[in-house]
Amino acid sequence: MLREDVSRNFGFIVHDVARLMRQTYDRRMKTLGLTRSQWWVLTHLYRKDGVTQSELAQTLELDKPSLGRLLDRMEASGWVTREDDLQDRRAKRVLLTQEVGPAMKAMRAAAADLRHEALAGISKDEQEQFVDTLLKLKLNLASLESRAPSHGGPSDEDKESVSK
């Protein structure tokens, strides 16, 4: 069996970096009384407040009932509210409340500190190049995802290129 040296495999490295950042941030958020699920929801709503509950479930890769229960608890705490969607009466939009403001401010400060610590010893130019490279990777992968057939099998285009 051929064993590949994965120590410089960017997929493993990106995964490990993301995991370490989540774990470190998780420990810091525990002091605010936030679980990972809660701060994850709040962070995504900070990025895009007012998304539908279905969109949020898809983004967070959670099933709808689990997210619904989590939002019930967060709504009871006064951090989020759910409002009817004006275009689709079946949908609910999830919004941050004013009460969550101090927690969000603390979360954003902790996130900024963690990013600063993670980037220690890396020049501003290297940081910009790194972010630019990650954005290119994200674009490439999003492009692949948008071209992928929804049923999981090869597309007609894929089949055609194989037969040539």
Condensed to tens digits (0 to 9), the pLDDT of residues 13-68 reads 999 999 999 999 999 999 988 999 999 999 999 999 999 999 999 999 999 999 99
Q: How far apart are CA 105 and CA 107, in angstroms?
A: 5
Joined together, the tokens standing for residue 105 give 């401010």
Domain encompassing residue 85:
10-143
- State the pLDDT at residue 75: 96
Answer whether residue 162 shows pLDDT above 80: no
As for how many domains the chain has, the answer is: 1
What is the band of 152 on the pLDDT scale with cuts at 50, 70, 90? low
Q: What are phi and psi of 103, to 5 degrees?
A: -65, -40
How many Cβ atoms from other residues are within 10 Å of residue 72's Cβ?
12
User: Mean pLDDT, the chain, as a whole number?
Assistant: 90
Show the DSSP H helices in 36-82 as ranges.
Answer: 36-47, 53-60, 64-76
In a domain, 33, yes or no: yes
Q: Answer yes or no: is 17 within a domain.
A: yes
Cα of 64 vs its chain's centroid, Å = 16
Question: Token match 């689709």: residue?
Answer: 88
Helix-strand-coil split of the chain, %, nearest 5: 65, 5, 25
Q: Is residue 163 part of a domain?
A: no
155 is a domain residue: no
Q: Enumerate residues 6+ apart whose C-beta is below 8 A from 95.
A: 45, 49, 50, 80, 81, 82, 83
In a domain, 1, yes or no: no
Flag whether 148 is in a domain.
no
pLDDT in tens, 75-90: 999 999 999 999 998 9
Q: Is residue 149, in this structure, part of any structural domain at all?
A: no
- Between CA 97 and CA 45 the distance in angstroms is 11
Enter the pTM of the model: 0.79
Output the domain CATH number for residue 57: 1.10.10.10
Please identify which residue in the block is written with the tokens 């898809």.
58
Which of 145, 125, 105, 115 lies closest to 18 in space, CA to CA?
115
Within a domain: residue 32?
Answer: yes
